[in-house]
Amino acid sequence: MSKISCPICEKDDMVQKVTAIVQGETNSTSGYSSSSGYSSISGDHISASGYSSGYTRMSATQSSRLAQQLHAPMRPSAPEKPDVQRSIFDLTGIFVLAVVITVVLVYMFMRDMYNYFLFWGRCCVTFLLSGIGLMIVTTPSLNRKRAEAEKRYEDDIDLYNRLTDIWRQEMINWNKLYYCRRDDVVYNPSDSAQPVEPARMRDIL
């Protein structure tokens, strides 16, 4: 019984490294003879050449379904840094409010002004000042939203880091897995856990 023998049939003639099965699926020219693409992740990568001679090629459909089930654990995706700005909705609100304030002020204080340029000049200034004022007044609320988003982002980063650590360990374990075609089981020769069917590979990662 060799080091990688199947724990069920105790033979290695139908045994293949899981990385090689998945690699074979994604690389149509070289078949499944090489698993070197994954070797950098695992420290104790075992070369595929040592045991591949007795292996019989599987049909393409069998292989693709199996390769899907045996696929490497997905790397968690990094959260995006939040960029909280005033929405177009907020800006529209501020614009409308500034117009309303300007109309009200003009109506209250300047309706008797007959100098055309002075009238419109003051309208513009009033509008600009109300707009700027509203921007200043709503800044604390914007900052609050930014702080909340920042906090959520930090939580997401923590979670992402934890998941990435788990993923790294899963990748190391995944690189050690073998598949026995006779018994249709996946197992880790360096681990005493029970072999599982390919669909349940995650259980032994």
> Tokens in use for 121?
């000049």
Q: Does 186 bind Zn ion (CB under 5 A)?
A: no
Please state the closest distance from residue 12 (CB atom) to Zn ion, in A.
8
For the bound state, the minimum distance from the C-beta of residue 169 to Zn ion, rounded and expressed in Å, comes to 26
Q: What is the DSSP string of 123-169?
A: HHHHHHHHHHHHHHHHHHHHHHHHHHHHHHHHHHHHHHHHHHHHHHH
| Binding of Zn ion by 170 (CB under 5 A) | no
What are the tokens at 70? 């045996």
**Whose Cβ is closer to Zn ion: residue 145's or residue 181's?**
181
- By the 10 Å C-beta count (0-12 exposed, 13-18 middle, 19+ buried), 102 is classed as buried
* Contact yes or no for 16/25 (Cβ under 8 A): no
Nearest to 63 by CA among 21, 104, 14: 21
**Could you tell me which stretch among 90-98, 149-157, 163-171, 172-180 binds Zn ion (CB under 5 A)?**
172-180
Q: Which is nearer to Zn ion, 11 or 65 (CB)?
A: 11
Told to check if 196 binds Zn ion by CB under 5 A, we report no
Instruction: Quote the least distance from Cβ 179 to Zn ion, whole Å.
Output: 9
Report the residue number, 5 or 126, with the smaller CB distance to Zn ion.
5
**Site for Zn ion contains 197 (CB under 5 A):** no
Report how far Cα 24 is from the mean position of its chain's Cα atoms. Answer: 25
Interface residue with Zn ion among 13, 90, 183, 184 (CB under 5 A) is 183
Radius of gyration over alpha carbons of the chain, in Å? 33
Helix (H) or strand (E) holding 5: none
Among 4, 6, 46, 177, binds Zn ion (CB under 5 A): 6
For 20, other C-beta atoms within 10 Å of its C-beta total 24
Q: Which residue is nearest to Zn ion (CB)?
A: 6
How far out from the chain centre does Cα 135 lie?
36
Minimal distance, residue 16 CB to Zn ion, in Å: 11
By CB under 5 A, residue 8 contacts Zn ion: yes
Bridge partner list, 16: 179
Among 180, 186, 201, 204, binds Zn ion (CB under 5 A): 180
Q: Which residues bind to Zn ion, rule: CB under 5 A?
A: 6, 8-9, 180, 182-183
